[in-house]
């Protein structure tokens, strides 16, 4: 048999009785020939002509029999296909969308490669466990073995851990830092909310795969703004706002593949952090001081590494074994869906959580179960409307099973989509589908163009296959409803909402187009289901409509009108103290809309040192002033100043780019410092 998908034409329900009609006609013709003694000596040419005439008669009888057996509705449909084509363009369009002109849909089916070999596992199970009860017991034992093999390493890697020096090890995430920045107060003025700065230490545990974690919004580091790179500053003494796990990998305390435990020691204020490339992480250099710094060292004890790669091997082997052996689409679908969901939610891409190690696993289980239940409801709808038709390829067992092909194409693609944080996130340079990311992230526009082109080709292929099966018009109606829903969401953007198409939403929109039995559809469907599982297990059912603030997160407003107008500073050079004074201009009329400006925030070396609400002082904005004093004889590094408005809710808006007060007392501002 061929390896490619084949198609078959649907036949009327009266196909089996047609054989009887055929034999009956042959029998009648035979009896007539026996009773006709006058033509017994005819030549072979005459007999051949009689047989041909009889065959034409049979075909005519069969056609009449088919028409008689058809229901009135199907008979009208039959005559419809033989009518003269209509001149109405809408009717002709609908007739074209209904499928090929023959009127008989060409149903796509998969003809397995080496069917006897692919069906061998299912036939062996059917022979050794013939009854449904025996098969159910075997499946239960199989799932229990999977659960035990999964749970034991999970408890060791994410369960309770004690430090050798005493106390519970603290679990930290890849993006955790000791110093908090952002548009909220963060560590507060002078870092008062992030104390102590020195003479403190604790044991921590990091997950695997933290080396590739990057900042996705511009982040202030001295005179520069970094983006799309790891936030590790300095080494072996690291600035307090560095990623803790990234710093531990850079220092060689833990590995990126296994994660592990370490100890952090707070060493207080430090001057001039020097960058270097170590263990795959390039740290950042900054030539000024910061109030909080730390070092990391190894931590022994019973703290195990992250078991995600060992557990991935276990889960992949068990799902592959099930795909090869089972002949039930429902069993394969539900076991793989739930198993992969649990794996993503607990191991490969869990939500960001930090805290004592004795509470992390219970919290992960709580979040995972809370997201799994509604996801299973959606999964049930997907199975009955989309998946069942695609997976039902040779599942009657015997010589028609295609278990190996389903395992490689569908289950394999399912894992590729579910491991999105290791597959597409590392390949496609497009972190988020936003205007800012498209304009600033290198390669984002090219990546989006390639994705659109690939999707267009796949859609054209699937449209043709649906047309062959005569189901194109129906599915175009479904996608018409999808388009109306998206347009309805877009229409709400005028009331302060914005549309966010998460990748789980894109998967749901594209999945109906895979409800066809071809090898390519197996691949596409598994991939989309994996993306759906990854999106829900990692982020939950995030809303499609979000406010601008929720969509922005810790990102900026990226509008120059929201930057304060800083006037040229006044500098007083004295010994031992020197001073620099700043004032700002008034608010431009209509520049800030309804945000409501209430004050000014000032960063000095990326630490908020001044937060003034001029309305409380009874002053206008242009009457407020900051005077900064430093010890001119002791300071050996420059200082970097940034300014931002504070809105009426107490959140800081975008900061200006850095202006520099050098050690010699001179002042310089970089591009973008002034509005």
Average pLDDT over residues 549-554: 72
Residue 171 backbone dihedrals phi, psi, to 5 degrees = -85, 130
Mean pLDDT for 64-85 is 45
Which residues are registered as beta bridge partners of 355? 171
Cβ neighbours around 514 below 10 Å, total: 23
Q: What is the pLDDT of residue 85?
A: 58
pLDDT of residue 10: 45
Burial tier of 307 (Cβ tally within 10 Å: 0-12, 13-18, 19+): buried
C-alpha to C-alpha distances, 652 to 564, 600, 602, nearest whole angstrom = 11, 8, 10
As a three-state string, the secondary structure of 169-234 is CEECCCCCCCCCCCCCCCCCHHHHHHCCCEEEEEEEEECCCCCCCCCCCCEEECCEEECCCCCCEE
- Give the residue-averaged pLDDT of 383-412: 80
State the pLDDT at residue 37: 41
pTM: 0.82
660: three-class secondary structure by DSSP: strand
Q: pLDDT at residue 368 above 80?
A: yes
At residue 86, the pLDDT reads 63
Listed in sequence order, the residues at least 6 apart from 322 whose beta carbon sits closer than 8 Å to its beta carbon are 142, 331, 332, 335, 336
Return the structure tokens found at 537.
């297990």
What's the Rg (C-alpha) of the chain? Answer: 35
The string of pLDDT tens digits covering residues 218-245 is 899 999 999 889 999 998 999 999 999 9
pLDDT digits (tens, 9 = 90+) for 458-476: 999 999 999 999 899 899 9
pLDDT at 673: 53
Kindly report which listed range (45-54, 205-214, 526-535, 594-603) carries the lowest average pLDDT score. 45-54
Arithmetic mean of pLDDT, 80-96 = 67
The per-residue pLDDT for 436 is 72
Tens of pLDDT, residue by residue over 239-266, are 999 999 999 999 999 999 999 999 999 9
Confidence at residue 118, expressed as pLDDT on a 0 to 100 scale = 87
pLDDT at 432: 75
Q: Using CA atoms, how far apart are residues 430 and 533, in angstroms rounded to an integer? A: 20
Among the listed residues 554, 546, 545, the one whose alpha carbon sits nearest the alpha carbon of residue 651: 554
Q: How far apart are the C-alpha atoms of 55 and 61, rounded to whole Å?
A: 10
Task: Considering only residues 75 and 436, tell me which one the structure prediction assigns the higher pLDDT.
Answer: 436
More confident residue, 50 or 378: 378
* Angle of helix 89-97 versus helix 472-491 axis, rounded to 10: 110
User: Which of 174-188, 444-458, 644-658 is most confident?
Assistant: 444-458
Q: Tell me the pLDDT of the chain averaged across its residues.
A: 82
* Greatest extent of the chain over all pairs of C-alpha atoms, in Å: 140
* Cα gap 498→490, rounded to integer Å: 7
Task: Grade residue 76 by pLDDT with cuts at 50, 70 and 90.
Answer: very low
Three-class SS state of 646: strand
The residue count of the chain comes to 675
Cross-strand pairs, 271 = 289
What distances in angstroms separate CA 442 from CA 448, 501, 656, one per listed residue?
12, 22, 23
Q: What does the pLDDT look like over 17-38, one tens digit per residue? A: 333 333 333 334 444 444 444 4
Which residues face 262 on adjacent strands? 204, 298
* C-beta of residue 516 within 8 angstroms of C-beta of residue 466: yes
* DSSP state letter for 516: S
- Average pLDDT score over residue span 279-290: 94
Peptide bond into 236 cis (omega under 30): yes
- The single residue listed with the structure tokens 């692919």 is 118
For 588, other C-beta atoms within 10 Å of its C-beta total 10
CB contact set of 277 (below 8 Å; sequence gap of 6+): 283
With CA atoms as reference, report the closest residue to 395 among 530, 524, 526, 517: 517
Asked which of 171-175, 461-465, 551-555 is least confident by mean pLDDT, the reply is 551-555
pLDDT at residue number 91:
78
Q: How far from 624 is each of 78, 579, 606, 613, 614, CA to CA, in Å? A: 86, 16, 21, 9, 7
Residues 6+ apart with CB under 8 A from 457: none
* pLDDT value, residue 238: 97
Confidence of residue 161 (pLDDT cuts 50, 70, 90): confident
Q: Which residues, listed in sequence order, are joined to residue 170 by a DSSP beta bridge?
A: 204, 356
* 640 beta partners: 660
Give residue 53's Cα distance to chain centre. Answer: 66
Question: And the tokens for 174?
Answer: 């890849």
Place of tokens 């009896």: 31
Q: What is the mean pLDDT of residues 44-67?
A: 41
User: Three-state DSSP class for 101?
Assistant: coil
DSSP string, 17-67: HHHHHHHHHHHHHHHHHHH--TTTT--HHHHHHHHHHHHHHHHHHHHHHHH
Q: Are 578 and 632 in contact (CB under 8 A)?
A: yes
**pLDDT above 90: percentage of residues in the chain:** 51
Kindly report the three-state secondary structure assignment for every residue of 325-394. HCCCHHHHHHHHHHHHHHHHHHHHCCCCCCEEHHHHHHHHHHHHHHHHHHHHHHHHHHHHHHHHHHHCCC
């Amino acid at each position: 048999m061929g390896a490619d998908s084949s198609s078959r034409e649907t036949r009327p329900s009266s196909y089996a009785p047609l054989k009887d009609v055929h034999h009956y006609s042959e029998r009648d013709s035979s009896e007539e020939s026996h009773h006709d003694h006058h033509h017994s000596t005819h030549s072979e040419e005459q007999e051949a002509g009689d047989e041909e005439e009889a065959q034409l008669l049979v075909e005519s009888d069969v056609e009449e029999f088919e028409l008689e057996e058809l229901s009135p509705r199907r008979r009208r449909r039959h005559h419809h296909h033989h009518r003269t084509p209509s001149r109405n363009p809408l009717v002709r369009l609908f007739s074209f969308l209904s499928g090929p002109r023959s009127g008989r849909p060409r149903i796509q089916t998969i003809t397995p490669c080496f069917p006897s070999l692919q069906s061998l596992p299912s036939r062996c199970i059917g022979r050794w466990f013939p009854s449904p009860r025996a098969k159910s017991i075997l499946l239960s034992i199989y799932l229990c073995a999977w659960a035990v093999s999964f749970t034991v390493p999970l408890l060791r890697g994410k369960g309770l851990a004690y430090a050798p020096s005493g106390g519970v090890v603290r679990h930290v995430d890849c993006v955790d830092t000791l110093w908090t920045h952002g548009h909220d107060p963060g560590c507060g003025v002078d870092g008062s909310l992030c104390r102590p700065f020195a003479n403190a230490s604790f044991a921590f545990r990091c997950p695997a795969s933290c080396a590739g974690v990057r900042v996705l919004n511009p982040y202030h580091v001295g005179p520069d703004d970094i983006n799309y790179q790891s936030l590790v500053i300095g080494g072996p003494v690291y600035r307090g706002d560095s990623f803790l796990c990234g710093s531990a990998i850079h220092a060689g305390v833990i590995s990126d593949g296994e994660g592990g435990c370490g100890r952090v020691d707070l060493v207080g204020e430090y001057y001039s952090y020097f960058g270097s490339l170590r263990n795959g992480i390039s740290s950042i250099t900054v030539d000024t001081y910061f109030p909080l710094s730390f070092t990391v060292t190894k931590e022994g004890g019973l703290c195990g590494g992250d078991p995600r790669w060992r557990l991935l091997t276990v889960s992949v082997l068990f799902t592959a074994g099930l795909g090869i052996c089972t002949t039930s689409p429902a069993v394969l679908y539900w076991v793989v869906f739930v198993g992969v969901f649990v794996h993503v939610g607990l191991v490969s891409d869990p939500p960001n959580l930090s805290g004592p190690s004795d509470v992390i696993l219970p919290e992960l289980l709580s979040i995972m179960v809370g997201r799994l239940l509604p996801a299973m409801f959606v999964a049930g709808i997907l199975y009955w409307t989309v998946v069942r038709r695609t997976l039902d390829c040779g599942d009657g067992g015997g010589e028609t099973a295609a278990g190996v092909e389903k395992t490689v194409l569908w289950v394999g693609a399912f894992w590729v989509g579910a491991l999105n944080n290791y597959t597409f996130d590392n390949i496609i340079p497009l972190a988020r589908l936003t205007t800012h990311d498209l304009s600033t992230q290198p390669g984002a526009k090219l990546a989006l163009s390639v994705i659109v082109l690939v999707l267009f080709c796949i859609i054209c292929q699937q449209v043709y296959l649906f047309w062959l099966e005569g189901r194109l018009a129906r599915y175009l109606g479904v996608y018409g409803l999808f388009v109306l829903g998206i347009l309805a969401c877009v229409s709400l953007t005028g009331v302060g909402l914005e549309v966010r198409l998460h990748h789980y939403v894109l998967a749901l929109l594209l999945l109906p187009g895979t409800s066809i039995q071809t090898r390519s559809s197996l691949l596409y469907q598994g991939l989309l289901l994996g993306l759906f599982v990854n999106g829900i297990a990692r982020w939950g059912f995030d809303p499609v409509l979000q406010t601008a603030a929720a969509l922005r997160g810790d990102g900026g407003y990226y509008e120059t009108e929201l930057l304060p107008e800083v006037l040229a500073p006044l500098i007083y050079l004295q010994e031992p103290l020197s001073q620099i004074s700043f004032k700002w201009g008034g608010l431009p009329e209509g520049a800030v809309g309804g945000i409501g400006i209430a004050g000014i925030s000032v960063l000095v070396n990326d630490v908020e040192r001044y937060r003034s609400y001029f309305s409380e002082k009874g002053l206008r904005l242009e009457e407020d002033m900051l005077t900064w004093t430093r010890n001119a004889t002791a300071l050996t590094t420059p200082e970097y100043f940034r300014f931002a408005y504070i809105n009426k809710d107490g959140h800081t808006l975008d900061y200006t780019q850095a202006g520099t007060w050098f050690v010699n007392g001179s002042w310089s501002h970089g591009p973008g410092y002034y509005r």
